[in-house]
Structure formats: structure tokens, C-alpha cells
Chain A
Amino acid sequence: QSALTQPASVSGSPGQSITISCTGTSSDIGSRYNYVSWYQQHPGKAPKLIIYGVSSRPSGVSNRFSGSKSGNAASLIISGLQAEDEAEYYCSSYSGRNTGIFGTGTKVTVL
């Protein structure tokens, strides 16, 4: 159960779009289950679900956040980057045998 692989950091200017990648295997992201989620975590706070089921947004989450999946990899796109988007982002997936797995985390910096 190795963590899903994410870039350590991604940065962008306000208004720009950024993409965070999340690479797994055929046992998790690439499986027949579309149980890929993304979380935003600000320092000292609990994580917040921003994408589930690969591309669905929970109620109240901005439509600037979007998700997709291709093969063994998933992506989170943040469009119209805002200062409040500066946070740590984690991907997650069902990993078979009733287990879950998180990504290594990506620090997003708004320049």
C-alpha cells in the first residue's frame, strides 16, 4: 500500500489555472471503481472534500474545482486561482479489499 504519487508543490498566479496530478496503479485509481476523491487542507484545519467519484463536487464547493481520471492517474484542476486556494491538496482512492489510500500531498502556492 504505497501512497499515491503527487507533485510536492504547484504554484500559479491569481486567475490562472493549475493542474495537480495523482498517479496510482491498476489496483486503485485504475480499477473499475471510480472512487477517486480530492481534499483541501489549510494549516491546522481538518481536510475538506472538494471532489468525489472522480469528478463530482459536494454541495457548496466552488465549480472552479474539477476532477478527471485517465488510466492509473487522476487530476485536479483549479481554475481562476484565488488566494484562498493556497493550501495542501490530497488525492485519495479506493484501493481494493475494503481499503483506501491517500496521495502524498501537494502544496499549492498562489504567487
Chain B
Amino acid sequence: EVQLVESGGDFVQPGRSLRLSCAASGFTFDDYAMHWVRQAPGKGLEWVSGVRWDSVTIGYADSVKGRFTISRDNAKNSLFLQMNSLRIDDTALYYCAKDIGYGDPHYGLDVWGQGTTVTVSS
């Protein structure tokens, strides 16, 4: 079964850091780009970051650029999101998602985890 399981969400104060993880199974992880998408409470989806299968190309939304770092460990079938200088408006459910494109990203996300909740508050 193709599966993504996120972890690492927590309640943190503004300015602190958090590292999210996503464990993948059921598919050849290093064949596909991976993405992080977030959804603030009661709000829409926001693309956060994406990384190509070989980590050669990486992209970030302007809202997180310079604060968040995406990475992957293909040997461990894992995706990560290092979040620094967290702000109140980073509060959201963070989803890990697999790109449908083989090799290069096609920005169609065909497998999603159930998400991990990040709450930033003083």
C-alpha cells in the first residue's frame, strides 16, 4: 500500500524551530519529487516547498523562503521540513505529498499523508 506518514508537529512559541518528517512506503521513493503543502485552520491549501527526486532542484513559497528548508533521505525513504523562525501565521496542518511525475515534478500530487499539526503561539 502506498502511504505517507507525517510526524513532528507540535505546539511552539514564535521564533522557535521545528522539524517535520514524512515516512514513505509502498512506492520507489527516489523516483519521484516530493512536496509539503499546508492548510491553516478553516483556510485553503498553500504549497510550501518541493524537492526533485535527486534534490537537485528545490523550491519554496515566498512566505517561507529563508526560514524553511526541505530535504530528503532516499536511503531512508524520508522527507523532511526544517522550520526556523516560526511565526503565528505558520500555524497549519502540514501535508507531505508525492508528485505524480516520474523523475521531474509535474506538480500533480497523487498521494497525500494525513498531515501533522503545527501550532505557533505565545
A interface residues, Cβ below 8 angstroms from B: 1, 3, 35, 37, 39, 41, 46-49, 52-53, 58, 88, 90, 92-94, 97-105
Contacts and interface: CB of A to CB of B under 8 A. Distances in A.
Contact of B108 (A52, A88, A99, A103): A52
A45 B106 CA distance: 23
25 contacts: A3-B44, A35-B106, A37-B107, A46-B114, A46-B115, A47-B37, A47-B95, A47-B109, A49-B100, A52-B100, A52-B106, A53-B106, A58-B100, A92-B109, A98-B105, A99-B47, A99-B50, A99-B60, A99-B61, A100-B50, A100-B107, A101-B47, A102-B37, A105-B44, A105-B45
Contacts of B107: 35, 37, 92-94, 100
Contacts, number: 75
B106 A102 contact: no
A102 B57 CA distance: 20
What size tier do the contact residues of chain B reach? 20 to 34
A52 B98 CA distance: 13
B58 A102 contact: no
A93 B105 CA distance: 11
A89 B1 CA distance: 26
Contacts of A53: 106, 108
A90 B45 CA distance: 8
